[in-house]
Structure 1
């Protein structure tokens, strides 16, 4: 599941986007974009959110599986995630 909803969408999630690392509730500053080529089309991007402490861990997890595509800063105007899904 993608962690960023469309702008203006109402969400039951936190008001401040949180890191996707299990157990972490730190504010997210990064979007880690990925896809699983076995089940997703090449242009599809799923998003995990990362805090500065867990960004590298999340990237490494995805790189080991050949899922990582890019990491981009999380813009303040983007909406909060709807839930803390990790895959």
Structure 2
């Protein structure tokens, strides 16, 4: 994943295996069996893989939210 802030900021990279495209989407999710509501993980997605990654998590009934990657800037 790319750097969050700083002078050497790099682009975010898609989380899909073998994909190195720039991420434009952030999928925030959690596994309710092991994570409380305050904990969320983040997968990053390029335009091509957004729906694939979202559908994978949704099929497991994991609570998720899809945002633009620009919403992550400055959260570190």
TM-score (norm 2): 0.80
Higher relative contact order structure (alpha carbons within 8 Å, sequence separation ≥ 6): 1
State the number of aligned residues: 73
> Paired residue for 1:70, among 38, 61, 65?
65
> Paired residue for 2:19, among 17, 21, 24?
24
> Paired residue for 1:55, among 50, 53, 67?
50
Does residue 37 (structure 1) correspond to residue 42 (structure 2)? The answer is no
Unpaired runs of at least 5, structure 2: none
TM-score (norm 1): 0.71
Give the Cα–Cα distance (whole angstroms) in 2 for the partners of residues 23 and 41 of structure 1.
30
**Structure with more of its chain in helix, by fraction:** 2
Give the Cα–Cα distance (whole angstroms) in 1 for the partners of residues 60 and 25 of structure 2.
20
What RMSD, in angstroms, separates the aligned Cα atoms of the two structures?
2.6
Q: Deviations over 1:31-52 (max 9, x none)?
A: 0010000110012111000000
Distance 1:40 1:5, change over 3 A: farther
| Runs ≥4 residues deviating over 6 A | none
